[in-house]
Amino acid sequence: MSECGYRAVSPVLSLHDVRASTPRPVRISGFTVVDARATDTNFGIAVDGSSHVTIDHNHTVNTASSGIIVWGSSDVLVEHNEVELACNAGAASENECLSIGETDTFEVRYNHVHDGNPVRGEGIDAKDGSSNGLVYGNRVEGVQGVGIYVDAWDKPTSSIEVFANLVHDVDGDGIAIGSEQGGQLSDVRVFNNLVSGAYWVGVNLHSCCTGSHPVSGVEVVNNTLYGNGTSGWGGRILDENDQATGVVIRNNLCAGNHSFEIALEGGVGPGDITADHNLIEAYHGYTGETCGADCVVGDPLLVAPASGDYHLEAGSPAIDAGSATGAPAVDCDGTPRPQGPGFDIGAFEHGGGSIFTDGFESGDTSAWTTQ
């Protein structure tokens, strides 16, 4: 399956230079934590009320609650961990497989989160008052509910980027964005992700779970979403939040999804959302379905989606058909954009090749090292 490996990093938040110069004297590295299940709230690794912490190269297996959780902290790096069979207390579990809450300035990168409990256990959550965060280069599969989730809950939550992740075969939405308990969520950017095989929707701006769900400044740009809606209902991008403002849906490649490619529900007004330069394979006749301005309708000509290669073939109508406005400077593989006279639609820029090959299986993730 196509993976994403970053040699270059988005300059949007400009946090990497700051973090590179900040020492992290606390490091949790190289541990294997198995069967932490004495109570329903047992975690594998927990960081609370701390700063300048690195959590790397650990493996948590069969934990009652989160495999890794960070709470009330600042300047935390979570990288190259494997979180397996987390939230195995089922409905009694708290938080998610890998949770970041009430934390400022964080990176969650190059982790493999998989096989959560079938009752409860979302993959990676950045939530509940967290800010200034980057979630990238992760692989999430076989989890319940949501693969990657940005949720304000009941606190102001802002400035979070989700990019270059692979999310596949999750029992819910691939990537979700929302405010479950009325906290203001703002400035969220979702780009260069590959989402396939989600039970419901590839990217969902939802309206759960109270009457107040304020969300503003969300950009969903240059993602590839393929084959979602395996439940028999679902699709690529769904905006059902009637309180969301300043939403941008641009340069996304949407194909092979069940009920729709892009749909707006819940009274979303035309002044609240900008949709343009997306590619959809076809219209399905779903209520609220849209493509936006300057869209492309047709077969995207992917290399081999049935075997997991979502790069563009020569002659794809997605090539050079995207907008330069707000487009990331590199693609999911780290290839500079554009490679031709225009920016391509989707997570992969044609002509750049792939710099990542099965790093999780081989154990070699050197191609994901930021330069």
Residue 106 pLDDT greater than 90, yes or no: yes
Is the per-residue pLDDT at 366 higher than 50? no
- pLDDT recorded at residue 231: 87
pLDDT-wise least confident of 255-264, 302-311, 318-327: 255-264
With residue 139 as reference, give the H or E element that holds it: strand 139-141
Give this prediction's pTM: 0.91
Domain covering 16-361 in this structure, CATH number: 2.160.20
Nearest to 201 by CA among 222, 180, 232, 178: 232
- Please state, in angstroms and rounded to a whole number, the distance separating the CA atoms of residues 87 and 84: 9
% of residues, the chain, pLDDT over 90:
65
> Angle at the Cα of 330 (from 329 to 332), degrees rounded to 5?
145
Domains of the chain by residue range:
16-361
Q: What's residue 23's pLDDT?
A: 73
